[in-house]
Amino acid sequence: MPKITFLSTGEIKEVPDGTSLLEYSQSTQAGIPFGCTVGSCSTCTVVVTEGADTLDPASDDELDTLEGCEDIANIRLACCLTIHGDVSLHPVDEKPLSTN
C-alpha cells in the first residue's frame, strides 16, 4: 500500500492505492486546511517533495487555480490529489520537520 508522509508532523500513513487525499484528510483530521474542496480556492495548497510522479497529473482547472504560485516548486492542491504510490508533502504555509 502507498504511504503518505506528512512532513510538517512526521506522520507516515498507509493508504489504499487510489485514495483521495481530500477524503483521507477529512476522515482523519490530517492537518491539511481545506476550503471549497473542488480546486478553486487554493486553501489546500501543498508542496510535494517526493512522489509527484505517483500522483495524477494536474488538471487544467487545478493549474488555473495555481497560476499565481509558479514560484513554488511542486505545488499542488490537496483536494485534487489521488494517491497511487508513496508521497511526501506538507502544506505550503508549514515547514517540514527538521531531519537533522
Q: Is residue 79 part of a domain?
A: yes
Q: Is pTM, for the whole model, over 0.75?
A: yes
Q: Is residue 73 part of a domain?
A: yes
Q: Please count the structural domains in the chain.
A: 1
8 Å CB contact between 83 and 54: yes
Alpha-carbon distance of 67 to 54, in angstroms, equals 22
- Taking the C-alpha atoms of residue 13 and residue 70, their distance in angstroms, rounded to an integer, is 29
Does 100 fall in a domain? no
- pLDDT, tens only, 37-81: 999 999 999 999 999 999 999 999 999 999 988 788 899 999 999
How far from 33 is each of 37, 81, 100, CA to CA, in Å?
Answer: 10, 14, 27
Q: Grid coordinates representing 24? A: 483521507
Q: Is residue 21 situated within a structural domain?
A: yes
User: How do residues 14-36 score in pLDDT, each as one tens digit?
Assistant: 999 999 999 999 898 888 899 99
Between the alpha carbon of residue 25 and those of residues 34, 64, 67, 99, the distances in Å are: 9, 23, 24, 24
Q: Which amino acid is at 46?
A: V
Range of the domain at 62: 3-91
CATH code of the domain covering residue 34: 3.10.20.30
